[in-house]
Chains A and B, each alone.
Chain A
Amino acid sequence: MQPRWVGHLLRTVSSDPDDPEALRAPRVVRLALTGELDMAAAFRIEPEADRLLARPGADRLVVDLAAVTFVDSAGLGALLAIRDRSRELGIEFALVSPSAPVRRMLELSGTSGMLAD
């Protein structure tokens, strides 16, 4: 049987200090997730988010859910943990572009209020 956590994470970071574009760009760090956001994935995205949040000068963390196909309660827990950590560091947190099933899952779990749009 195919494990449910085949999903893995990607990151696109646009605040590279060596990139001249980045100097003009808002200091946004971006975490784009793909696949299924369940407990196994949750364990991996939290340290990844911590790494991004620790970048000097970051003032906004954007978590992109466009390529996420499934979120369970552990995945939701991870998103909440990342949001809380961002807040502690004074970094704005935005959860964006949920796929239709993910938006539905967030609605069913009473947490669609987390979405930025």
Chain B
Amino acid sequence: MVLELLSGLLRRTHLSAPSDLAAVIAQQAKSIGAADVVLYLIDYEQSALVPAPAHAADPGEALSVAGTVAGRAFSSTTILRTQGDGLERLWLPLLDGTERIGVLGMSFREGALSERLVAVCERYAHLVAVLVVTKAAYGDAFELIRRREPMTIASELLWGLVPPLVFATEGLALAAMLEPCYDNGGDTLDYALNDRVLHVGVFDAMGHGLAAAGVAAFALSAYRCSRRAGSDLLETYAAMHEAVGKQFPESRFVTALIAQLDLDSGRLRMISAGHPPPLLIRGGRRARILGVEPAPPLGVDVPGRGPTIADESLEPGDLLLLYTDGLTDARDTDGEPFTIERLSQFIEREANGGQTAPETLRRLRHALLGREAADLRDDATAVLLEWQGNQPYDLLPQTTVL
């Protein structure tokens, strides 16, 4: 049954456009007795699950992440089950690797849902998630579903460059946030896992708007170029510094924190180009600001010390937060500044409450930006890393019955 279902979906979607996918997914699922199959994608604000219309005439209704079963399936990465009207409905989180892209709702006749059928649906949802990501590159359908406001050119530029905002592998979970999501001004981030070394960087270009976004995009590309050429941290700093300085001689500059984390040993090495140092949250103790001697920002020609590498040893379970100063300059919905102390307390509390890294950042985003009262003075970017040593990271869906 599984093979037929999955290979059938692959065959049917081989030549389909992104906008056809929702209908094909619904149709194929009929073969296992599923009805009312709806593909929901998470919006950019991470607050609503928006249906991908299977028929143009029937757009369906968005579901809030807060306070709905679909939302709970999404935020807890858990398969949930509801009953009513002689039907049972499954809510399956859609995960591309570990990135949460939405949920799939499927209904079955009461009594039909055996454990085995739930497992089949889980595989189906997995394939659906991978197809959504693959097909998304060929059309705007999914991108537009995820947007609830128009996006600026600056945001188009930056979103086009950043890697997926969630990633997990053996011993590591990573989640990132890039705000304001429809109107970024000059923050960006990048990461790459090569062998067992995680390369990660956050970048903050001076100023706002499209000009700043252009400089940030340029710095990010210079970073990638050096990394892919096999350069070490010092060489990467030097190359980015020179590239930004040459390309933008008119006092444009970028602050950056670039780091390498060895996933086997936990050794963390970092260079700051005039950028705030990361926060380390260890075992429920008070968060510590790591000591990183700042070198001049990229593109700034000032006399002084060259870059130095800061060296830290992470312990299993450590959380590391890389961020831009827009995060600590932000005001919460009560108008209070979101200081480093509050930021660390927030992360500690969520971590102690057992939240995953992506869910912690989703909640942080909402703590910072209630939909009505957003007061972000600057772009706010964060990358939250959880290093587990040799523990496997648990971000895969767990079947539970609601």
Query: A58-77, CB under 8 A of B: which get 1 and which 0?
Result: 00000000000000111011
In the assembled complex, how far is the CB of residue A98 from the closest CB belonging to chain B, in whole angstroms? Answer: 14
- A77-B251, A108-B276 known; A113-B206 Cβ under 8 A: no
B274 within 8 A of A: yes
B264-310 contacts to A, CB under 8 A, are 272-274, 276, 294-297, 300, 302-304
**Hey, which chain B residues are within 8 Å of A73, CB to CB?**
204, 206-207, 253, 255, 297, 325
B59 within 8 A of A: no
Query: A92-117, CB under 8 A of B: which get 1 and which 0?
Result: 00000000000000011111111000
Query: B12-32, CB under 8 A of A: which get 1 and which 0?
Result: 000000000000000000000
**Contact for A112 among B297, B304, B331, CB less than 8 A:** B304
Residues of chain B whose beta carbon lies under 8 Å from any beta carbon of chain A = 204, 206-208, 249-253, 255, 272-274, 276, 294-297, 300, 302-304, 325, 331, 335, 377
**Contact for A77 among B207, B272, B302, B303, CB less than 8 A:** B207
Q: How far, in angstroms, from A1 to B207 measured CA to CA in the complex?
A: 22
Residues of chain A whose beta carbon lies under 8 Å from any beta carbon of chain B = 1, 4, 39, 72-74, 76-78, 80-81, 84, 107-114
Q: Is the CB of A74 within 8 A of B303?
A: no
By secondary structure, the B interface counts as: loop
Q: How far, in angstroms, from A114 to B297 measured CA to CA in the complex?
A: 12
Q: Is the CB of B251 within 8 A of A81?
A: yes
**Hey, which chain A residues are within 8 Å of B253, CB to CB?**
73, 76-77, 80
Q: How far, in angstroms, from A22 to B303 measured CA to CA in the complex?
A: 32
Q: Is the CB of A110 within 8 A of B252?
A: no
Who on chain B is nearest to A76 by CB? B206
**Contact for A109 among B252, B274, B303, B377, CB less than 8 A:** B274
**Hey, which chain B residues are within 8 Å of A113, CB to CB?**
296, 302-304
Ordered nearest first, which 10 A-B pairs have the shortest CB separation?
A: A113-B304, A110-B294, A110-B274, A113-B302, A81-B251, A109-B274, A80-B251, A113-B303, A110-B296, A73-B206
**Hey, which chain B residues are within 8 Å of A81, CB to CB?**
250-251
Q: How far, in angstroms, from A72 to B253 measured CA to CA in the complex?
A: 13
**Hey, which chain A residues are within 8 Å of B302, CB to CB?**
110-111, 113-114
Q: Is the CB of B304 within 8 A of A110?
A: yes
Q: Is the CB of B208 within 8 A of A109?
A: no
- A109-B255, A109-B274, A113-B303 known; A39-B296 Cβ under 8 A: no
Q: How far, in angstroms, from A109 to B300 measured CA to CA in the complex?
A: 11
**Hey, which chain B residues are within 8 Å of A110, CB to CB?**
255, 272-274, 294-297, 300, 302, 304
**Hey, which chain A residues are within 8 Å of B325, CB to CB?**
72-73
Beyond the given A1-B335, A77-B207, A109-B294, could you list 6 further A-B residue pairs with CB under 8 A, ordered by the A residue number? A77-B206, A108-B294, A110-B302, A111-B274, A111-B296, A113-B302
In the assembled complex, how far is the CB of residue B370 from the closest CB belonging to chain A, in whole angstroms? Answer: 16
**Contact for A74 among B206, B273, B297, CB less than 8 A:** B206
Who on chain A is nearest to B295 by CB? A110
In the assembled complex, how far is the CB of residue B55 from the closest CB belonging to chain A, in whole angstroms? Answer: 48
Q: How far, in angstroms, from A110 to B208 measured CA to CA in the complex?
A: 21
In the assembled complex, how far is the CB of residue B216 from the closest CB belonging to chain A, in whole angstroms? Answer: 12
Who on chain A is nearest to B296 by CB? A110
**Hey, which chain A residues are within 8 Å of B377, CB to CB?**
4
Q: How far, in angstroms, from A110 to B256 measured CA to CA in the complex?
A: 11
**Hey, which chain B residues are within 8 Å of A114, CB to CB?**
302
26 example contacts (A-B, Cβ-Cβ < 8 A) are as follows: A1-B335, A4-B377, A39-B207, A73-B255, A74-B206, A74-B207, A77-B253, A78-B251, A80-B251, A84-B251, A107-B294, A108-B274, A108-B276, A109-B255, A109-B294, A109-B297, A110-B255, A110-B272, A110-B296, A110-B302, A110-B304, A111-B297, A111-B300, A113-B302, A113-B304, A114-B302
**Hey, which chain B residues are within 8 Å of A77, CB to CB?**
206-207, 251-253
Most buried by A among B206, B276, B296, B331: B206
In the assembled complex, how far is the CB of residue B6 from the closest CB belonging to chain A, in whole angstroms? Answer: 50
**Hey, which chain B residues are within 8 Å of A78, CB to CB?**
251
In the assembled complex, how far is the CB of residue A94 from the closest CB belonging to chain B, in whole angstroms? Answer: 13
Who on chain A is nearest to B293 by CB? A110
Q: How far, in angstroms, from A16 to B253 measured CA to CA in the complex?
A: 35
Q: How far, in angstroms, from A114 to B303 measured CA to CA in the complex?
A: 7
Q: How far, in angstroms, from A4 to B325 measured CA to CA in the complex?
A: 15
Most buried by B among A1, A39, A110: A110
Q: How far, in angstroms, from A77 to B211 measured CA to CA in the complex?
A: 13
In the assembled complex, how far is the CB of residue A71 from the closest CB belonging to chain B, in whole angstroms? Answer: 12
